[in-house]
Amino acid sequence: MHLVTLPFPLLLPPSTPLSPLHPTFYSREHCLPKLLPVLISTRKKRQQQQGPPKSHLLVPVTPSQLADSCWLSVSFATFYWMAAEPFYTVASDSETTGEDKSQPSFPDVAIGIDIGTSKCSVAVWNGHHVELLKNTRNQKGMRSYVMFKDDTLSAGVTGGAAKENAHEERDVLSGSAIFNMKRLIGRMDTDEVVQASKALPFLVQTLGIGVRPFIAALVNNMWRSTTPEEVLAIFLLELKALAEMHLKHPVRNAVLTIPVAFSRFQQTRIERACAMAGLHVLRLMPEPTAVALLYAQHQQQLMHDNMGSGIEKIALIFNMGAGYCDAAVAATAGGVSQIRALSGCSVGGEDILQNIMRHLVPNFDSLYAGQTMDRIKSMGLLRIATQDAIHKLASQDSVEINVDLGDGQKVSKVLDHSEFEQVNRVIFEKVEKIINQCLADAKLVPEDINDVILVGGCSRIPRIRSLVLGLCKTEVSYKNIDALEAAVSGAALEGAIASGVTDPEGSLDLLTIQATPMNLGIRADGDNFAAIIPRNTTVPARREMLFMTTHDNQTEALISVYEGEGERAEENHLLGYFKITGIPPAPKGTVEISVCMDIDASNVLRVFAGVVKPQGQGVPPFIEVRMPTLDDGHGWCGQALAKMYGSKLDLAVHPKKLQP
Amino acid sequence: MNTCTIPMARCAGGINTATAVGRSRSHVKVMAAVADRASSFCSVKSSDYYKVLSLEHSPAVGAEEIKRAYRRLALQCHPDVCPPSRRAESTEFFLEVRRAYETLSDPAQKLRYDAELRTGGAARRSRDEFARDVWEAQLSVLRARSERRQRASRVGRRHGMAHA
């Protein structure tokens, strides 16, 4: 297998020019020494013969030319240059377009990727059905981590050097590996999820002022800094290589699943990581909606086999993994799945694990206050033992935990279901809240639900199953779906549909009509949040709201765009802000300002704002801003604006709302 | 040819068939209205929601029928299933379908809408005063152009007949 020997350039430290992580590594000369002279001479000849060239010329192109988005992608591209046959594409022989823009000739079906907090998987539509790809160790679900060791980097896709799972897990918890990046990505250091991540074996340092946390892995007794985006990119790079090895052609496009609770800013961070790995994101799908697509396909199949009735079916999908928990209500008929409601929060198996660890070792926080080598090792042992116990509790009534943490610390305890449930009571309450909110938002009662679909690793926990099924007043969950493979299969289906693949048997005549998971709006009426696009609005969406000035002769107004569920602006996530200037002087309340939010088919949010009354020549032009604009400092930007301007630039919701 | 007095209803005629042709025609108008800076971006309301969903024009149309029509149209015109080149256009059309569906699938809203339709949409028109201006301006240009074309063809035909 190529892959095992493959990541050789990655094995070099990023500081050496030979490493793909070094900026100078990627240069065209590396990849195209033989092609360039041919290309140039052909072009010269043509110009001499025919004047300005207009026709197309067939030239061999390496995948490296296609991977134009980032130099990180080059390590695998060069691998192809050396190991694979160069394939042929039609390159336009004109001066303006350049060779880099050439389109690949292979069928470019987007792959589906499920980046889980704890495990990742990748799947692709192979022309007949969705196929999950396995790594060299025959795993479909690959542990999500990147190991930093001496001068090498290795991601969980190949499993690094470890041959056995137990070894791997111990290595992962040694402080040298970064994992749980999905919990950390795009979060500020004031976030409680980041605070909880301090109990992980690698370094998560916070200042608590609303900037990104400092993250580092232990390499040769030194903390080496990195970022969640970089870690994810390295991981995606290996996933991409795995897919390319299976498909035997370069992969460019991908559909990724994300938690419902991901903010738009977190989504941009995922896109960033993908770009670093040379992947173009066709779509980011909330995890339960990917499952809904798979369910829609099942229902279509039943119809074809004359076993289904074709009547609309309502499914409640509950997904709980290691980092997040989401729910969705989807109405499905005729291959179309309309998302009626979405809800989610950042509660998952990691929280359950930490709760149990703190329960087993009451002085957990003081014991593991500073990260010394001993403490990291001891905490790793505790983590493995706890994880093991939770897994066993899924099928046993009670479990005995015996672990020597070293330094005289020993844990010896029998844990049963009632104790487990007591310790994690808060988590089950949150799950209950999410299901109830989802049902209420969909304007449905439990009796309306035809199928309850439970997916994700935590759906194996008996209490979670009974809780969700109980809330939906049903006895059994939907059977024909694999809890761990559903999301990635849905993503691969979406990838095929979005790539324009059609299936003669009609098994791709599917559609998920998405909805917005969170309210989108601006700060208005003092510190309040005025939702312009309420949550669970069908996407694409366009909504408008009228606002008015709050001061006499107010010439400027600040539009602060937020996303979230809180009634007050500051409880929500700040996406960006801009100012409307040159408002004609007038008494307060007489100037009307329209703010329109538009989510297009690619889920891009644009905000349009401007003065609609008075009209005429003296009015400034409308402003269009693509959101999010903020890159960092979400925590303190709002405060800084409030401190600087107070209520000087405030707007109030116009009582005459235009929306019906 | 019936030149409607209510411009809204005329535009809907273009969408009526819900074919690619009808779609692209309505799209041009919608975009023209949106492009105007002073226009409020969302107030481009089309017309007859029944026609948007290609439904029989009667209040007796059932909820299930409305849902089915919406789903069928979604599978045809949702931007996710359209080629990238037609994305903007299909987004506009889908937004319209969605608006029609949201109104007609809500019993209370449907009742109000049906009443509005009976009274000639007077209530709606006052709300969309500005949008209507844009539509009318657009329409007069189009009407003038079609008249000119008709006149030209009529002249041509007469010439042809004279030759015969």
pLDDT tens digits, A267-314: 999 999 999 999 999 999 999 999 999 999 999 888 888 766 668 899
Q: How far apart are the first and last CA of chain B?
A: 28
What is the structure's pLDDT at A39?
Answer: 34
Kindly state the helix (H) or strand (E) to which residue A404 belongs, with its residue range.
strand A398-406
Domain-located, residue A604? yes
Contacts of B125 (CB under 8 A, 6+ apart): B6, B8, B132
At A406, which CATH number? 3.90.640.10
Q: How far apart are CA A648 and CA A448, in angstroms?
A: 50
Which of A387, A422, A457 represents a domain boundary (last residue)?
A422
> How many percent of chain A have pLDDT more than 70?
81
Mean pLDDT, range A208-221, rounded to an integer: 91
Q: Does some domain include residue A10?
A: no
Mean pLDDT of chain A: 83
Q: Is A333 on the interface with B (CB under 8 A)?
A: yes
Flag whether residue A335 sits within 8 Å of chain B, measured between CB atoms.
yes
User: Has residue A237 got a pLDDT over 90?
Assistant: yes
Domain locations in chain B as residue ranges: 49-155
Closest approach of A288 to chain B, Cα-based (Å): 18
SS3 of residue B41 by DSSP? coil
Sorting pLDDT into bands at 50, 70 and 90, what band is A347? very high
Q: Which residues pair with A152 in a beta bridge?
A: A149
Choose from B30, B78, B99, B101 for mutation: most chain A CBs within 10 A.
Answer: B78
CB A334 within 8 A of CB B75: yes
Distance CA A607, CA B133 (A): 25
Do residues B45 and B99 make contact, with C-beta atoms less than 8 angstroms apart? Answer: yes
The pLDDT value given to residue B65:
87
| CA–centroid distance for A198 within its chain | 21
The total of other beta-carbon atoms located within 10 Å of residue B48's CB is 22
Residue A490 in this model has a pLDDT that exceeds 70 = yes
Is residue B12 very low, low, confident or very high in pLDDT (cuts 50, 70, 90)?
A: very low
- Picking from A384, A404, A422, the residue at the C-terminal end of a domain is A422
Contacts of A598 in chain B (CB under 8 A): 41
Q: How many whole angstroms separate alpha carbon A377 and alpha carbon A215?
A: 19
Structural tokens at position A467: 């809780």
In a domain, residue A68? The reply is no
Judge whether A467 lies within some domain: no
Q: Are residues A263 and A365 in the same domain?
A: no
Q: Do B67 and A312 touch (CB under 8 A)?
A: yes
- Amino acid residing at B41: F
A96: CB partners within 8 A, 6+ apart: none
Q: Which two tokens stand for residue A149?
A: 């060791």
CB pairs under 8 A between A and B: 70
What confidence score (pLDDT) does residue A569 get? 92
- Please state the separation of Cα A582 from the chain's center in Å: 39
Partner-chain residue, chosen from B71, B78, B87, that has the shortest CB–CB distance to A333: B71
pLDDT for A57 equals 33
Whether residues B40 and A615 touch (CB distance < 8 A) is answered with: no
Task: Return the top range by mean pLDDT from A13-22, A202-211, A459-468.
Answer: A459-468
Q: What is the pLDDT of residue A660?
A: 41
d(CA A485, CA A479): 13
Chain B hits for A333, Cβ within 8 Å: 67-68, 71
Q: Please state which of the ranges A51-55, A436-440, B47-51, B83-87 shows the lowest mean pLDDT.
A: A51-55
pLDDT at A233 over 90: yes
Burial class for A468, CB neighbours closer than 10 Å (0-12, 13-18, 19+) = buried
Whether residues A594 and B90 touch (CB distance < 8 A) is answered with no
User: DSSP character for A7?
Assistant: T
B24 touches chain A (CB under 8 A): no
* Residues in chain B, overall count: 164
Residue A42 has a pLDDT of: 38
Query: What is the spatial order of strands in the sheet that A451-455 belongs to?
Result: A451-455, A313-320, A325-333, A336-345, A511-513
What's the pLDDT at A100? 40
More confident residue, A660 or A411: A411
Backbone angles phi and psi of A551, in degrees to 5: -130, 155
Beta bridge partners of A520: A533, A563
Higher pLDDT, residue A431 or A23:
A431
Whether residues B75 and A335 touch (CB distance < 8 A) is answered with: yes
Summarize pLDDT for A555-577 with one digit per residue, the tens. Answer: 999 999 999 999 999 899 999 99
Chain A environment of B88 (Cβ under 8 Å): 600
Place of tokens 């160069």: A86
Q: Which of the two residues, A60 and A348, has the higher pLDDT score?
A: A348
Residue A4 confidence class, pLDDT cut points 50, 70, 90: very low
Instruction: Give me the domain span that covers residue A527.
Output: 518-653
ipTM: 0.74
How many alpha carbons fall within 13 Å on the CB side of residue A265?
22
Q: What is the pLDDT of residue A152?
A: 76
**pLDDT for residue A113 is more than 90:** yes
**pLDDT for the residue A54:** 37
Q: Does residue A291 form part of some domain?
A: no
**Does position A33 have pLDDT exceeding 90, yes or no?**
no
Judged against a pLDDT cut of 60, whether residue A400 lies above it is answered with yes
Q: Report the residue of B40, B41, B43, B128 to disrupt the A interface, i.e. the one with the largest count of A CBs within 10 Å.
A: B41
> Given CB atoms, is A659 within the 8 Å cutoff of chain B?
yes
Residue with tokens 């134009």: A68
Residue A157: pLDDT band with limits 50, 70, 90: confident
Please state, rounded to an integer, the average pLDDT across all residues of chain B.
63
> How, if at all, do strands A203-205 and A214-219 pair?
antiparallel
Question: Does A80 have pLDDT greater than 50?
Answer: no
Q: How many domains does chain A have?
A: 3
According to the model, what pLDDT value does residue A357 have? 95
Cβ neighbors of A368 (< 8 A, separation 6 or more) are A199, A375, A378, A379
* Cα A86 from Cα A164, distance rounded (Å): 37
Residues of B in contact with A658 (CB under 8 A): 40, 42-43, 127
Residue A60 lies in a domain: no
Greater pLDDT, A85 or A153 = A153
Read off the tokens for A257.
């699943």
The model's confidence at residue A24, banded by pLDDT at 50, 70 and 90, is very low
CA distance A323 to A120: 13
**Closest chain A CA to residue B36:** A622
State mean pLDDT over A490-519.
91
The pLDDT score that the predictor gives to residue B140 is 59
Say if A413 falls within a structural domain.
yes
Contact A124, A109 (CB under 8 A): yes
Q: Write the pLDDT tens digit of every residue in A511-526.
A: 999 999 999 999 999 9
- Residues A594-630: tens digit of each pLDDT: 999 999 988 999 999 999 988 888 888 999 999 999 8
Of all residues in chain A, the percent with pLDDT exceeding 90 is 64
Domain stops at, among A372, A392, A422: A422
- Overall fold of domain B49-155: Helix Hairpins (1.10.287)
Residue A192, Cβ density class (10 Å: 0-12 exposed, 13-18 middle, ≥19 buried)? exposed
pLDDT for residue A638 is more than 60: yes
pLDDT of residue A448: 94
What does DSSP assign to residue B83? -
pLDDT level of residue A211 (50, 70, 90 thresholds): confident
Give pLDDT, residue A308.
61
For residue range B124-164, list pLDDT tens digits in order: 544 444 444 555 555 556 666 666 666 666 555 555 444 43
Q: Of A299-313, A325-339, B72-86, which range is least confident?
A: A299-313
pLDDT of residue B149: 67
The CATH number linked to A272 is 3.30.420.40
- CB of B72 within 8 Å of a chain A CB? The answer is yes
Coil, strand, or helix at residue B156? Answer: helix
pLDDT over 90 at A421, yes or no: yes
Q: B160 or A180: whose pLDDT is higher?
A: A180
Residue B26: which of B4, B5, B51, B3 has the closest Cα? Answer: B51
Collapsing DSSP to helix, strand or coil, A434 comes out as: helix
A511: nearest CB among B37, B75, B109? B75
- Which tokens belong to A389? 């116990």
Question: Pick the residue with more confidence: A546 or B160?
Answer: A546
Question: In Å, how far is B139's CA from the nearest CA of chain A?
Answer: 23
pLDDT of residue B136: 54
Q: Name the minimum distance, in Å, from the CA of A628 to any CA of chain B.
A: 20
Is the predicted pLDDT of residue A229 greater than 60, yes or no? yes
Q: Is residue A293 part of a domain?
A: no
Q: Which residue has the higher pLDDT, B58 or A649?
A: A649
Reported confidence tier of residue A19, pLDDT bands at 50, 70, 90: very low
Choose among B116, B96, B104: nearest CA to B42.
B96
In whole angstroms, what is the distance from residue A375 CA to residue A380 CA?
Answer: 8
Of the residues A538, A605, A606, A607, the best mutation for testing chain B's interface (the one with the most B CB atoms within 10 Å of its CB) is A538
Do residues A267 and A126 both lie within one domain? Answer: yes
